[in-house]
Structure 1
Amino acid sequence: MSNKAPLPQNIVVHQQSKVLELVYGADIYKLPFEFLRVWSPSAEVRGHSVGQETLQTGKRDVLINNIEQVGHYAIKPVFSDGHDSGIYSWEYLYEMCQNYEAMWQDYLGRLEKEGVDRDAPMTKDAGHSCGH
């Protein structure tokens, strides 16, 4: 059996501070909505293979309008920018909690490498067509 991530005992959406709070026993993690949005596990963000990722920008003020449970293994946040195709498994969420600092620094590093401002609006041609 694989190392299964623990299930959060509680998930709280904090609209004012724009964080998703995940409670695992005595451990409480707060993941900013922007972080969740730019690290979405969706094909729109990740691409269909390595090298097809679309760097997300302009997400500092994104909100989570709703969270849908997906079976017994994941949640699907509905973001205020219309993005709703990211399915966050319990394993991925726990990984995000454990590796928040490194993942955030990686994101900031990619922005710098690309010479893109974090608050720049996404351009229409920044993504790629999935043939839909």
Structure 2
Amino acid sequence: MAGVHFSFDNFKQLVELNIGIADRLDENRAERFTILYCDFSSIAPEVVNSSLQTVLRTSDAVVNKGNDYYCVLPYTDQYGAVSVREIFEEFFDKSVASTTVSYPADGENVKELFESLKENGKTRLKKDLQLI
């Protein structure tokens, strides 16, 4: 297990790629992937790196901007993303501030997904997420 780490500068393109793959491979319009945002500001960087290697699958992708981490989880619905967050919490032995958005339920394109993610950040976490 180990998620693939991408530069935050490539986040938009990474989400566009996942939308393209989902549209190509899945016609039933189910939740095809979920973006899990986690605030790891209270976790030591070496522990975060270790958790990413342990918790994420090789098909998962992660980008970060400082302590803000965004995991792109293919073929994972919101329930599955919450399970991933819970595994992180077990790994750290503490709660992690997080939120999720799923394609296409929360947005039909990158702009809509990012807007939903920003809105979730404001309402659920009282945090202004910087996505673009």
TM over 0.5: no
The structure in which a higher percent of residues are helix is 2
TM-score range, shorter chain: under 0.3
Q: TM-score under structure 2 normalisation? A: 0.28
**Bigger Rg, which one:** 1
